[in-house]
């Protein structure tokens, strides 16, 4: 049996595919290519493939029509429907495995980093130093007169100490929009800062939330939070979830963080709030168009931290999703139910072993 692997899979799990599961593996990871395989390239590569482990290539109905031998798809992402036509696969009785929560820890870590960054001017201070705003002639002892030297940038008007003050997290209220895998990990981390935690998630009742998390609706969360952070997938229900009305409810002193997807918010409405000082700051890892154009207004705003869709890009994520996917492939090979399958109605499992 042959497997085409276009996703990034770690060395140990490539070994498992070959040695433990007996697959002939054609490994073409996205990390070693300049771009995704085109539809025509994927069709050519998948012609005699039984198992496809796909990262970001589009697996359309047309691709599936050309893959006559294909019996199993694994997509090591939290939302495989972004690039795999799940319905078309189900119609062909092809299970689609995926890896929910694979980057929850990574995104949660990054989210906390962005909270502190935007509140305490870390990236902004870095930028001002590198562009010469706060460089100058060193002063050995800027205070003078004490029993020891006091080396500072200065504390008077115009100094970074005076101009770049920001709030501590302790005692603030953090509102988490979406309390799934990532939202829960954010909650675990942020409680260590001594904050109050609010959560909005229509699918999770209060009794299933941690004792220190209060479930509220979106309006209440926006009104009460000092930090609003978004962790929901893009669906018909969440597209444009936070727009002009929601931003208008937020405190002028609040910070907004988005490491989910740009489509969840009205980006123009956010920009307007930031430009009019109706919101203290924002930290964004995702946008309504990517990459950002070099002249984008977000890159000009001093109260915005921007990063290029990095929240899920921790080194450990590849190891985690590789193990999740290969574990489930092995389960199917052994005639057992996988833990993570996009459409569990497709469990009339194909006899993947012994077909040769």
Q: What is the CATH number of the domain that holds 97?
A: 3.40.50.720
User: What is the tally of helices (H) and strands (E) in the chain?
Assistant: 12, 12
Q: How many domains does the chain have?
A: 2
- In this structure, the answer to whether residues 221 and 324 fall within a common structural domain is no
Same domain? For 74 and 175 the reply is no
**Based on the domain organization, do 195 and 260 belong to the same domain?**
yes
Question: How many Cα atoms within 13 Å fall on the side-chain side of residue 331?
Answer: 16
Same domain, 173 and 299: yes
Residue 186 pLDDT = 98
End-to-end CA distance of the chain, in Å? 7
- Evaluate whether 121 touches 166 at the Cβ level (below 8 Å): yes
Q: Is 40 helix (H, G, I), strand (E, B) or coil?
A: helix
Whether residue 344 lies inside any domain: the answer is no
Query: Exactly one of 184, 231, 261, 320 is catalytic; which is it?
Result: 261
Asked whether the beta carbons of 170 and 196 are under 8 A apart, the reply is no
309 is a catalytic site residue: yes
The contacts found for 153-160 with CB under 8 angstroms, 24 or more apart, are 160/125, 160/128, 160/134
User: Does the annotation mark 231 as catalytic?
Assistant: no
Q: Indicate the length of the chain as a whole number.
A: 356
In Å, how far are 7, 35, 45, 233, 278 from 41, measured between CA atoms? 15, 12, 6, 29, 49
Q: Produce one character per residue of 67-91: b if its CB has 16 or more CB atoms within 10 Å, e if not.
A: beebbbbbbbbbbbbebbbbebbbe
The answer on 233 and 194 residing in a single domain is yes
Could you list the pLDDT tens digit for every one of the 356 residues in the chain? 999 999 999 999 999 999 999 999 999 999 999 999 999 999 999 999 999 999 999 999 999 999 999 999 999 999 999 999 999 999 999 999 999 999 999 999 999 999 999 999 999 999 999 999 999 988 877 777 888 888 888 888 999 999 999 999 999 999 999 999 999 999 999 999 999 999 999 999 999 999 999 999 999 999 999 999 999 999 999 999 999 999 999 999 999 999 999 999 999 999 999 999 999 999 999 999 999 999 999 999 999 999 999 999 999 999 999 999 999 999 999 999 999 999 988 876 455 544 44
* Residue tagged active-site, from 120, 296, 309, 330: 309
290: annotated active-site residue: yes
Residue 43: give the domain boundaries.
2-102+315-333
Burial of 65 (0-12, 13-18, 19+ CB in 10 A): exposed
237 CB neighbour count, 10 Å cutoff: 10
How is residue 341 annotated by DSSP?
Answer: B
For residue 251, being part of any structural domain is answered with yes
Q: How far is CA 44 from CA 3, 49, 52, in A?
A: 14, 10, 13
Over residues 212-263, the pLDDT tens digits come to 999 999 999 999 999 999 999 999 999 999 999 999 999 999 999 999 999 9
The 10s digit of each residue's pLDDT in 57-106 is: 999 999 999 999 999 999 999 999 999 999 999 999 999 999 999 999 99
Question: Which one from 35, 290, 294, 300 is the annotated catalytic residue?
Answer: 290
Let me know whether 96 and 223 are in one domain.
no
Three-state DSSP state, 52: strand
pTM to 2 decimal places:
0.93
Evaluate whether residue 155 is within a structural domain: no
């Amino acid at each position: 049996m042959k497997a085409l692997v276009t996703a990034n899979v770690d060395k140990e799990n490539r070994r498992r595919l070959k040695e433990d599961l007996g697959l002939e593996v054609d490994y073409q990871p996205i990390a070693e290519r300049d771009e995704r395989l085109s539809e025509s390239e994927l069709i050519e590569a998948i012609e005699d493939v039984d198992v496809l482990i796909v990262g970001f290539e589009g697996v359309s109905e047309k691709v599936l029509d050309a893959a006559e031998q294909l019996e199993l798809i694994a997509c090591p992402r939290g939302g495989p429907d972004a690039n795999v036509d799940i319905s078309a696969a189900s119609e062909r009785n092809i299970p689609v495995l995926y890896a929910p929560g694979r980057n929850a820890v990574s995104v949660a870590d990054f989210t906390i980093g962005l909270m502190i960054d935007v509140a305490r001017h870390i990236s902004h201070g870095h930028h001002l130093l590198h562009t010469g705003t706060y460089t100058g002639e060193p002063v050995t002892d800027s205070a003078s007169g004490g029993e020891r030297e006091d080396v500072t940038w200065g504390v008077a008007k115009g100094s970074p100490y005076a101009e770049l003050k920001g709030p501590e997290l302790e005692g603030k209220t953090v509102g988490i929009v979406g309390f799934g895998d990532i939202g829960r990990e954010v909650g675990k981390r942020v409680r260590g800062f001594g904050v109050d935690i609010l959560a909005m998630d229509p699918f999770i009742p209060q009794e299933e939330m941690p004792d220190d998390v209060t479930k509220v609706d979106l309006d209440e969360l926006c009104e009460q939070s000092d930090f609003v952070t978004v962790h929901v997938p893009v669906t018909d229900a969440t597209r444009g979830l936070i727009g002009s009305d929601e931003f208008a409810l937020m405190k002028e002193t609040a910070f907004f963080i988005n490491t989910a997807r740009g489509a969840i918010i009205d980006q123009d409405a956010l920009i307007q709030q930031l430009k009019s000082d109706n919101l203290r700051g924002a930290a964004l890892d995702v946008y309504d168009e990517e990459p950002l154009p070099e002249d984008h207004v977000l890159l000009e705003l001093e109260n915005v931290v921007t990063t290029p869709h990095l929240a899920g890009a921790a080194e450990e994520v590849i190891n985690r999703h590789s193990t999740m996917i290969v574990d489930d492939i092995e389960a199917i090979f052994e005639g057992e139910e996988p833990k993570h399958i996009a459409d569990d109605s497709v469990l009339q499992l194909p006899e993947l072993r012994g077909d040769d």
